[in-house]
Amino acid sequence: MNKSASITILQNDQGATEEITDEVTIEEPLEFSIAFGAHSSREIKNLAVTMRTPGNDFELVLGFLYSEGIIKNKSDVQAITRMDNLEDSSNIENTVLVELDETLSVDPQKIRNFYINSSCGICGSQVVDDIGSLQQYHSSKSDFLVAESVLRTLPGRLQKQQDAFSQTGGLHASALFDQQGSILSLFEDVGRHNALDKLIGRELQNNNLPLFQSGLILSGRTSFELIHKAALAGIPVVVSIGAPSSLAVDAAWEYEITLAGFLQADRFNIYSFPRRIN
């Protein structure tokens, strides 16, 4: 799927205006639903609409379901497809249906309906006091350490692999890196939270959770929601090009995650658990 589209714009440069072709990031809605319960009494619940950049939709939805505690592992999902019962079949590529395992306990009264904004996700739907109830993996069990000299190489390495960003300047990235600073996996999206859901969804598909031996680099600022998702995946180190929010810092301490921000080639700030950076 295309992540960008070519459009004609007017560009003003030093007072002179000319018509040029420009690339802009594609943003479209994705509606997803879950099917659950015994085969004889199967229910379908429309769960969310998110504004996203098309591509890796299945991974995005799996990552979201995991971060909301609806699924805990790959075996909780029987199948994941597009919805085929639409009145307008032209919209099928903007839908996802997740068939949950019949034995999975789902209380439809406890599952919220979401509208997910591409800029801020669900904006801190959980409070720090409650986050431990969903946590399967504790980053305190990780022995992952990374050298400060390695961290300073990450912005350049990330930018080299952001293909769509180089065309549009309008996409966020989430990427896993190892102790040597090599980028292991990278996903882009118009929404910061979507990029991370795609990343976690792919690792869930590949049975790679928990991610105790990987760090996470974010292309923008760090919100509480991103720390929450990283913690649930067992990621011990989160670094970002931008700033963290106060709640992100609080959550990083609560989760025992090493959090760094304002990462550049010559400097960065450490906000929590500095012992993993040497």
32 vs 134: CA distance, rounded Å: 22
From 183, 255, 174, select the one nearest 219 (Cα to Cα): 174
DSSP 44-95: EEEEEEEEE-SS-HHHHHHHHHHHTTS--SGGGEEEEE-----SSGGGGGGE
Count of all residues that appear for the chain in the document: 278
Catalytic pick from 120, 123, 147, 265?
120
257 vs 147: CA distance, rounded Å: 16
- For 38, the token pair is 């015994």
7 vs 72: CA distance, rounded Å: 42
Give catalytic status of residue 123 as yes or no. no
Query: CA torsion sign, 265 to 175 to 209 to 258?
Result: positive
130 vs 69: CA distance, rounded Å: 12
What Rg, from alpha-carbon coordinates, does the chain have? 20
- For 27, the token pair is 């943003």
Longest Cα–Cα distance of the chain, Å, equals 69
Query: Burial level of 238, CB count in 10 A (0-12/13-18/19+)?
Result: buried
* Contact (CB, 8 A) for 106 and 237: no
From 165, 134, 127, select the one nearest 241 (Cα to Cα): 165
52 vs 38: CA distance, rounded Å: 32
- Report the catalytic residues: 120
